[in-house]
Chains A and B, each alone.
Chain A
Amino acid sequence: DAGVIQSPRHEVTEMGQEVTLRCKPISGHDYLFWYRQTMMRGLELLIYFNNNVPIDDSGMPEDRFSAKMPNASFSTLKIQPSEPRDSAVYFCASSFLGLLDTQYFGPGTRLTVL
């Protein structure tokens, strides 16, 4: 298996633009997680899905953030409109059994909002 795949690896955009981050989990994993990492706050869980259904989105910072999982092999995290404070590395991870089961992380997307 190729592991968790994220795209793009780097994204530079201007304030106010829409940003869409993409993730392909490991095949057979029922759980998918979106994280954000910054120097100040560390690694934060934004939202996670079980069998394509959002389970807990309490970590999503604002209504500008939304996430979808239309099928078992694809998820998106969208920010609209983007702001400079959204600049961070966004990780996607997947696991078989859940939160404390071994999570396999993707390489991350480094987002810079100017």
Chain B
Amino acid sequence: LAKTTQPISMDSYEGQEVNITCSHNNIATNDYITWYQQFPSQGPRFIIQGYKTKVTNEVASLFIPADRKSSTLSLPRVSLSDTAVYYCLVGVRTGANNLFFGTGTRLTVIP
């Protein structure tokens, strides 16, 4: 499983767009990129998944450049309720791999 690197923490003001970048230099051809969100005292929750270019859903957008060695989770107009830890995972969608969540990026939204 491709190892990922993310910033430990980020701060943002309410209403701003937040971009969290994840580096995954060793990503393999069949690997997908997945992001999870975890609120305090809760289990992680799936946000978005992509393979290349751009994916958008009602919560976020995921931008993946052509070389796929990094990806950026974009949260539009964050609110206080977006304060959470965000995890980037890279791996094959099905099959036997060791999944690594790590410590993620702690996003704090400031009023």
Give chain A's interface residues, CB within 8 Å of chain B.
4, 33, 35, 41-45, 55-56, 58-59, 91, 93, 97-108
A residues near B41, Cβ cutoff 8 Å:
108
A residues near B89, Cβ cutoff 8 Å:
100
B13 interfacial contact with A, CB 8 Å: no
The answer on a CB contact under 8 Å between A35 and B101 is yes
B87 interfacial contact with A, CB 8 Å: yes
> What would be 21 A-B contacts, judged by CB atoms less than 8 Å apart?
A4-B43, A42-B102, A42-B103, A43-B102, A56-B96, A91-B43, A93-B44, A97-B93, A98-B94, A99-B91, A100-B89, A100-B94, A101-B93, A103-B36, A103-B44, A103-B46, A104-B46, A106-B43, A107-B42, A108-B41, A108-B43
How long is the Cα–Cα vector from A56 to B101 in the complex, in angstroms? Answer: 16
How long is the Cα–Cα vector from A82 to B37 in the complex, in angstroms? Answer: 30
The answer on a CB contact under 8 Å between B93 and A44 is no
The answer on a CB contact under 8 Å between A45 and B43 is no
Closest to B47 in A: A102
A residues near B32, Cβ cutoff 8 Å:
100
- Out of B87, B92, B94, B98, which one reaches A43, CB within 8 Å? B87
B81 interfacial contact with A, CB 8 Å: no
B29 interfacial contact with A, CB 8 Å: no
- Out of A41, A43, A44, which one reaches B44, CB within 8 Å? A43
